[in-house]
Amino acid sequence: MRMQHYAVIFALSLLAFQAVGQTDDGALPPPGESYQFFTDLTRVSGDQLEITLVPPKLSENTVRYCFPKIVPGIYGAMDFGQYVADLRAFDHKDRPLPVVQENVNVWRIEKAKNLRRIQYRVNDTWDNLVDYNKGFYRPAGATFHAGDGFVINHNALFGFFEGHTGRPYQIQFRKPEGFFGATALENVARTETTETMIAPNYRALVDAPVLFGLPDTAQFRLGQTEILIAVFNAMPGQNYPYAPYLKEVLEPQLAAMPAYFGGSLPVKKYAFLVYFEAFDNDNMLADALEHQHSSLYLYAGRGMGTIAGLIRHISAHEFLHIITPLNIHSEKIAQYNFIEPSLSQHLWLYEGMTEYMSLHAGVTQKTLPFTDFLQKIADKYREMQQFDAGISLTELSRNALTRQDQYYNFYLKGALANLCLDIRLREYSGGKYGTANLMLDLAKKYGPDRPFPEAGLFDEIAAMTHPEIRDFFRRYVEGTEPLPLAEDLLKVGIVFDPQKMSVDIVGNPTPDHWKMRTAWLGM
């Protein structure tokens, strides 16, 4: 998604699909079973890299080598095959095999039982952030700054054989001297001149972008979770280490997250990957895309200090995706089709709940002032008025590819719907149970490797909590009734005026108001 918002252009997109583990021992997968890719980052010619693939052993005589039309979290066709040039296939005697390009993303290869090698060139998908009108979903693509650094999403460079996305992947990068590849992939073998990355399948590979450049990193721990911050500064001649500065910005906020979820987080490792370039303008530019164990941020501005607040806010949202979709996602997401995906109806959960949790965690853990929290509620309500009230959150989710103009409402109406859900859950439980408890219970029941049934989630939540919650979903998530924001906020001693679009506390709160507000916000 891309939209202009107070002179900031940013894309907050859901990357939601089944979590996958890394190879247990880190050993290289057997050559006959795995994809083996090779590329040389020291040899960029005309914004192109040469890619060589030694394929796994194939039993078919005709195969299709594919690039994604769409990747998870992107709600528009990117057609990564359009960046591929001169794709050729060779047998064991280095003789060319018949290759026919069927469409922009698919190459049909004949006599594939004899296939020994595929070779092609791939263009970068964007050059810089300043020319933002010329780019499209840049955080899902790749850029090559020869000798300086690289932003690499594997889906922009490496493809798959139709029907064989479950095979292991081994990617060997030859790199410039001193370069470091920052990624959330756990299995990375490094030498002075190469980095070899291993993923158990295509989904896991696509889920772990890489930031290549001279090291500018910082690390810290949140309980048992290791946090990596890596920065690629695209400003020539400036070697200022930005990662330690970003650590100071992010660590206090992130330090509150384990307590919000009962003391621990469901990931062992998480990487914040940040690309930064100069932009001599009062505006700032930003794109972001979250992954299950990392998030990639692309920023342009006068200086890192000018966009620290934006980084802080967006990173809180992106980081909380470790709950959903990492541990809570539907079967439609788990069975993602890179060519023609069928979308889930539950973006109200993946994006709306995540956005709400980023605010609720902030105010309950004292990193977001209460008055700022109230103002954000009013701001979201005011902004959601520009969107179509006649389309439900579930319908919008199912049709996100064709209703891009409405997608941002998940961060507005979706967040406020979950605010109301939280208050109602606490009302029915005497303050003891809210959305944070619900997310933990759903994560325990499902988790990374077990998706929930696409059609049965609302009934299940009602069974886990209270029967009346099913009616809430029917009216306000599946239906288009106006959110009961004023009614629910009054239960916690907060007055919402939809005409003035203002939020304030009740002048003389009752003991019940105090009890519910304390249960809800810890204050």
Whole-number Å distance between alpha carbons of 12 and 297: 10
In the chain, the amino acid numbered 256 is A
Q: Is it the case that residue 309 has pLDDT exceeding 80? A: no
The pLDDT score that the predictor gives to residue 164 is 95
**55-82 per-position pLDDT tens digit:** 999 999 999 999 999 898 787 789 999 9
What are the distances in angstroms from CA 418 to CA 259, 347, 499, 520?
A: 20, 12, 22, 13
pLDDT at residue 28, as a whole number: 65
Q: Say if residues 76 and 137 touch (Cβ distance below 8 Å).
A: yes
Average pLDDT over residues 422-435: 97
Are 279 and 300 in contact by the 8 Å Cβ rule? The answer is yes
Residues, the chain: 523
H-helix segments, 320-467: 331-334, 347, 354-364, 370-384, 393-398, 413-428, 435-445, 457-464
Residue 238's pLDDT band (boundaries 50, 70, 90)? Answer: low
- Give the integer Cα–Cα distance in Å for 184 and 174: 19
Q: Is the pLDDT of residue 40 over 70?
A: yes
pLDDT digits (tens, 9 = 90+) for 124-159: 999 888 775 555 688 999 999 988 999 999 999 999
User: How far apart, in whole angstroms, are the C-alpha atoms of residue 436 and residue 320?
Assistant: 11
Span 177-203, average pLDDT: 94
Cα dihedral sign, 434-436-438-440: negative
DSSP labels for 322-348? Answer: GTTTTTS-BHHHHT--SSS----S-HI
Cβ–Cβ < 8 Å for 140, 153: yes
User: 407 CB contacts (<8 Å, ≥6 apart)?
Assistant: 1, 75, 396, 400
In the predicted structure, residue 320 carries a pLDDT above the cut 70: yes
Band of residue 8 on the pLDDT scale cut at 50, 70, 90 = very low
pLDDT exceeds 50 at position 314:
yes
Q: Buried b vs exposed e over 229-257: b needs ≥16 C-beta within 10 Å?
A: bbbbbbeeeeeeebbebbbebbeebbbbb
Contact of 351 with 394, CB cutoff 8 Å: no
Contacts of 25 (CB under 8 A, 6+ apart): none
- Average the pLDDT over 405-432 and give the result: 97
At 145, is the secondary structure helix, strand, or coil? Answer: strand
Average pLDDT over residues 406-411: 95
pLDDT (average), residues 460-470: 97
Predicted confidence at residue 133, as pLDDT, reads: 55
Amino acid, single-letter form, for residue 251: E
Confidence bin at 464 (pLDDT 50/70/90): very high
For helices 413-428 and 511-521, the axis angle rounded to 10 degrees is 120
Among 95-104, 168-177, 255-264, the minimum mean pLDDT is found in: 255-264
pLDDT in tens, 323-372: 988 889 998 888 888 988 888 999 999 999 999 999 999 999 999 999 99
pLDDT for the residue 2:
32
Chain-wide mean pLDDT for the chain?
A: 89
Is pLDDT at 182 greater than 50 in this prediction?
yes
Q: Looking at residues 386-395, what average pLDDT do you find?
A: 98
